[in-house]
Structure 1
Amino acid sequence: MAWKRPLVLLLSLCAIPAALLAQQAPSPIPGTSLDRQRTALAQAKAQAEEARKRSEALEARARATNAAADKTRDQIAALAARIQQSEADLRAGQARIAIIADMQRTQARKLAERRQPIVRLTAALQQIARRAPLLALVEPGSVSDAVHRRIVLAQVMPVVMANTRGLQSEIARSAALRESAEAAAGALARTRDGLAAQQKTLATLEQRQRLASRTLRDSAGLEVERALAMGEEARDIGELMEKIEDAATVRDALLTLPGPTLRPARPGSAPPPSDRPAPAAADAAALPYRLPAVGEVVTGFGEASESGVRARGLTIATAPAATVVAPARGRIAFAGPFRGYGRIVIIDHGGGWTTLVAGLDRLSAQVGETVRPGDPLGATGQRDPHLTVELRRQERPVDIAALLR
C-alpha cells in the first residue's frame, strides 16, 4: 500500500545503530569548554600569523646577507620561526577538533531527542500494520475499525513524513560533522609530521653552527666556569639573578670608561672619535620584546598562587618539545640546569635589564653568546611542559605585557 512506503522509511531511520550515535558523540575532553576552545583557536591563529611574518622577514634577511656565518644564523632563526608557526597551527588544529567534538555531542543529543517521539509513533504504527486483513473480516466491528484506522493514518502520515525529513536532516548534519572531524584529524597529523621534519632540520643546522663557532666557545671557557660557579653558590633563583645583574652592572660600567686618549695629529686639533660602542639604552622603548614560545599563558604577572606568592613573570603551557627563542637582543649570562627549575637561560640585555627563561629540557644557547630576537635558546620537555619567563630591571620584576611587540 502507498501508506506503507513512508512507514518503511520511518522504520529504517529509527533503526540507526546506537554505536553510530556513540561514534558521533566523542567523550568530553576534561577541562575544556566551547568558549575556551574558540579563544584558544583565535589565539593560535594569531600566533601562527605572527610567526609567519617573522620567518618571512628573517628569510629575506638571510637572502640579502653575504657572510656565511650571518646567513646560517638568519636561516636558523627563520626556521625556528617556521617551527613556532607549525606549533601554533598544531594548537589551532587541536582546538578545532575540540570544537567539532563539542558540536558532535550537541548534535547527538538533538538526534536522540528527535528520535524518541518517532520511535514511539513507529511502535504504534507497527501494531496497526500487524493486524491481518483476513482477520478484520471475521471480527465484529473490524471493518468499521479498519476504516477509522485508514482515516487516522491519512491524518498522521503527513506529520510523520515532516518529522522524518527533519530526522534525515539531523542525520546528514551528524555525518557532515563526522567528516569534518576526520578532515581535522588528518590535517593535525600532517602538521605533526611537518613539525617533526622541521625540528630535525633545525637540530642539524644548530650542530653545524656549533662546530663553526668552536673558537668562540673555547674563548668563553672562563666565563662559562664563572657562570656555573655562580649557579652553584646561589641559594635560589632570585640570588642567582642578583649575582648576574651585579656582574652585568660592573661590565656596563667598565664599557663606559673612556679608553686611552690618542695624541692629536697637530697641536690644538681635536682627538679622533672613539670607536667604542655606546652603552645599551635602559628605557623600555629600546627593548622590543616578544614571548619566547608558542602556547597558552596560564599564569600572569602578579597572579597569586595557592600559597599566596605572587608571580614575578609569566608561565606558558607549551606543546611538547616546543622551540624556545630569545625574547629580545642580549648576551647569554647563564645557560644550564638549576635546581627545581630544569634548565634555565638568563639573558643580559644591558642597561640593567635581564630575562630569566626557565623550564627548558634542551639548551642550544651558550654562555657568552650574543643573541638576537628569535634566535633559538632550546626546547621544552615532553611531559607537561611549562615555560616561565621573568623580566627584570635593576633587580625589580617588570610586567612583560607592556613591552610585547
Structure 2
Amino acid sequence: MRAPVLNLLLIAGLTGASVLGTSVLGAGVLGASLAQAQTAAPAPQTAAVSPDAIKQREQELEAARARQKSAEEAQAKLKAEITSLGQDRTQLNQQLIDTAANVRAVETKIDEAEARLRALNGREQQMRSSLDSRRADIVEVLAALQRAGRRTPPALLVRPEDALQSLRTAMLLGAVVPELRGRAEKIASELGELVSLRKNIAGERDQLATDRDKVRSDQTRLTALVDERQRQQSSREKDLDAENSRAIALSRQVGDLQGLIAKMEQDLQSAAKAAEKAAEAARQAEAKAAANAAANVKPGPGAFKDRSRTTPAIAFASAKGLLPLPVNGNKIRDFGGSDGVGGVQKGISLASKPGAQVTTPCDGWVVYAGPFRSYGQLLILNAGGGYHVLIAGMERISVNIGQFVLTGEPVATMGSTSQVASILATNASQPVLYVEFRKDGTPIDPGPWWAINEGEKVRG
C-alpha cells in the first residue's frame, strides 16, 4: 500500500513544490489542465469592464483623494506651526534638534528591524529546506496516519497549519505506534516553528512599514524647519549668495584643507567673523573650564541643554566622551588606518543608509560649506580653541558660511552613493561620510571625543 501512495503523492506535484503551502495534491496536474484550457480558449477581442471593476476603481480614486487631502492638511498645519515660532531662535533650535534626533532614532529602528527580518527570513529558508528534504518522510507519515485513522489525509500541504493540526490530532490516536509518533512529533515541531516564524515576520514587516511612514513624516517636518532656519539666516545675511559664490571661487585657488581653512578665515568676511567669535568663545570657555576644574566640576551632557546659546557650551577640549557621531552607520575606516589609495586615514569613515540625516557632532561656526576637490560636499566647523571639524561626503548641505550651529542640529543629507573619491572605488554602492578633527591644522584622532554609549550622547 505504501509504494502506490508514495508514487501518487510524488507524481501529484510534490516535486519542485514548496512544502510551505504553495502546493497541494494534484497541483501540478490541475495547473497543467488549466494552462491547456487557457491556451485552447480563444482570446476575446474586447474586454468589457465589469460593474465591480468600475466600483473598485472609484474606491481607489476616492482613497487617493483622501490621502491627498490629508497631506495638504498636514502641510498647512505644519506651516502654521512653524510660522508661530516667528523669530524665536530657542524654539526653532529646539524643534530642529528634537526632530533630527527623532529621525535618527527611527533610522536606527529601521536598521534593527531590517536586521531582524534578514535573520528571520534566513531561518524560514532553513526550515523550508529541512522540510523540503524530508518530503518522503512526511508522505510516509501521513499515509500511515491515513491507515491508522481510516480517514483521508489533508491535501499536502495547503498550509503548514493544516498539516500541523492533522499531526497533532493523529498523535492523540492510540493506534499510532511509538516510532511513527516520534517522527510525527518531530515534523509537527518543525511545522509549529515555521508557523511561529511566519507570524514574527509578518509582525516585523508591519512595524517596519509603520517606522518608514513615521520617518517620512519626520523628514518632511525637518525639511520645513531647516527651510525656516535658512530663511531667517538669509534675512540676517543680505549678501549671502555673493559670499557663498566667493567661497567656492576661493576654494579653487587652494590645494589642501589647511590652505582652504586659512583662506576662508582670512579672506571671507563671514568666515573671518566666525573665526573671531570662535577665538573669543574659546577664551571664555577655557576660563570657565579652568574654574570648573578648580571646583572639581566635570562637564556632562547637561551643559548642552541651553538651546538659545550662540557660543559653544563648553570648550571643545573638555567635550571628550560626550559627542555623538554625525550619522547613523557603521565605521568602515578608522583614524590611522589605510585610506584605500596608499595613504593613511586622517579621520574616520562611516557607511550610512541612502538619504540619512547628518547632524553636527559639536557646537561651532561654519567656515566653509560647499564642494571641494575630491571630498564632494564639504562642511568645516570652527569649534574654537584651534579645533576644526571637517565633514565630507554628503549630497546636500543645509547651512551657510558664518552660521553658528548647535550639537545635534541637522546640517546635511547623505546621497545614494559615496561622494568622496578615496572611498568611491571600494564602497561605490553605499554613501560614506568622512569626519576629521584638526587641532591647529594637524589631523588628530577623534576617538576620545565620541560618546561611549547612547546615554552619554549630547542631544543639543
TM (norm. structure 1) is: 0.66
Q: Is the 8 A contact 1:280 1:351 kept in 2?
A: no
1:164–1:22 distance in 2 versus 1, CA, 3 Å: closer
1:108–1:284 distance in 2 versus 1, CA, 3 Å: same
Per-residue deviation, 1:213:
2.7
Q: Which residue of 1 aligns with 2:400?
A: 366
Return the match for 1:194 from 204, 210, 214. 214
Per-residue deviation, 1:229:
3.2
Matches within 5 A, 1:376-387: 376-383=410-417, 384-387=430-433
Per-residue deviation, 1:288:
4.2
Per-residue deviation, 1:182:
2.1
Per-residue deviation, 1:157:
3.8
Q: Which residue of 2 aligns with 1:167?
A: 187
In structure 1, what is the Cα distance between the partners aligned to 2:390 and 2:221? Answer: 27
1:375–1:23 distance in 2 versus 1, CA, 3 Å: farther
Per-residue deviation, 1:22:
7.2
- What CA deviation, in whole Å up to 9, does each residue of 1:364-394 have, x standing for no partner? 1110000110111110113422111111111
Greater Cα offset, 278-287 or 220-229: 278-287
Return the match for 1:326 from 360, 370, 376. 360
In structure 2, what is the Cα distance between the partners aligned to 1:68 and 1:253? Answer: 23
SS of 2:213's equivalent?
A: helix
Matches within 5 A, 1:122-161: 157-161=177-181
Q: Is the 8 A contact 1:341 1:358 kept in 2?
A: yes
SS of 1:333's equivalent?
A: strand
Residue type of the alignment partner of 1:85: A
1:243–1:213 distance in 2 versus 1, CA, 3 Å: closer
Residue type of the alignment partner of 2:130: K
Return the match for 1:394 from 408, 418, 440. 440
Q: Which residue of 2 aligns with 1:20?
A: 18
SS of 1:304's equivalent?
A: coil
- What CA deviation, in whole Å up to 9, does each residue of 1:31-74 have, x standing for no partner? xxxxxxxxxxxxxxxxxxxxxxxxxxxxxxxxxx9972221121
Q: Which residue of 2 aligns with 1:111?
A: 131
In structure 2, what is the Cα distance between the partners aligned to 1:218 and 1:181? Answer: 54
Identical-residue share of aligned pairs (%): 27
1:354–1:121 distance in 2 versus 1, CA, 3 Å: same
| Structure 2: 5+ residue stretches without partners | 23-84, 147-173, 284-310, 418-429, 452-460
Q: Which residue of 2 aligns with 1:150?
A: none
Q: Is the 8 A contact 2:312 2:364 kept in 1?
A: no
1:21–1:398 distance in 2 versus 1, CA, 3 Å: farther
Residue type of the alignment partner of 1:387: L
SS of 2:95's equivalent?
A: helix
In structure 1, what is the Cα distance between the partners aligned to 2:228 and 2:144? Answer: 78
In structure 2, what is the Cα distance between the partners aligned to 1:287 and 1:367? Answer: 28
- What CA deviation, in whole Å up to 9, does each residue of 1:303-338 have, x standing for no partner? 214433221111111122111111100000001122
Q: Which residue of 2 aligns with 1:307?
A: 341
1:99–1:239 distance in 2 versus 1, CA, 3 Å: farther
SS of 2:238's equivalent?
A: helix
Q: Is the 8 A contact 2:354 2:414 kept in 1?
A: yes
In structure 2, what is the Cα distance between the partners aligned to 1:239 and 1:112? Answer: 65
Q: Is the 8 A contact 1:87 1:195 kept in 2?
A: yes
Return the match for 1:102 from 104, 109, 122. 122
- What CA deviation, in whole Å up to 9, does each residue of 1:57-102 have, x standing for no partner? xxxxxxxx99722211211111111111111111111111111122
1:305–1:345 distance in 2 versus 1, CA, 3 Å: closer
1:156–1:305 distance in 2 versus 1, CA, 3 Å: farther
Per-residue deviation, 1:221:
5.9
Greater Cα offset, 66-75 or 279-288: 279-288
1:238–1:168 distance in 2 versus 1, CA, 3 Å: farther
Q: Which residue of 2 aligns with 1:375?
A: 409
SS of 2:381's equivalent?
A: strand
Residue type of the alignment partner of 2:97: A
1:159–1:254 distance in 2 versus 1, CA, 3 Å: closer
1:309–1:254 distance in 2 versus 1, CA, 3 Å: closer
1:243–1:211 distance in 2 versus 1, CA, 3 Å: closer
Matches within 5 A, 1:126-275: 157-218=177-238, 223-237=243-257, 239-241=259-261, 243-244=263-264, 251=276, 255=280
Q: How many residues align?
A: 314
SS of 1:356's equivalent?
A: strand
Residue type of the alignment partner of 2:228: R
1:183–1:20 distance in 2 versus 1, CA, 3 Å: farther
1:118–1:74 distance in 2 versus 1, CA, 3 Å: closer
Return the match for 1:316 from 318, 329, 350. 350
- What CA deviation, in whole Å up to 9, does each residue of 1:249-292 have, x standing for no partner? 97479859x9xxxxxxxxxxxxxxxxxx9998463447942211
Q: Which residue of 1 aligns with 2:385?
A: 351
SS of 1:390's equivalent?
A: strand
Residue type of the alignment partner of 1:390: E
Residue type of the alignment partner of 2:435: V
Q: Is the 8 A contact 2:327 2:352 kept in 1?
A: yes
1:215–1:67 distance in 2 versus 1, CA, 3 Å: closer
1:172–1:300 distance in 2 versus 1, CA, 3 Å: same
TM (norm. structure 2) is: 0.58
Cα RMSD after superposing both structures: 4.1
Q: Is the 8 A contact 1:335 1:365 kept in 2?
A: yes
1:112–1:157 distance in 2 versus 1, CA, 3 Å: farther
1:68–1:111 distance in 2 versus 1, CA, 3 Å: same
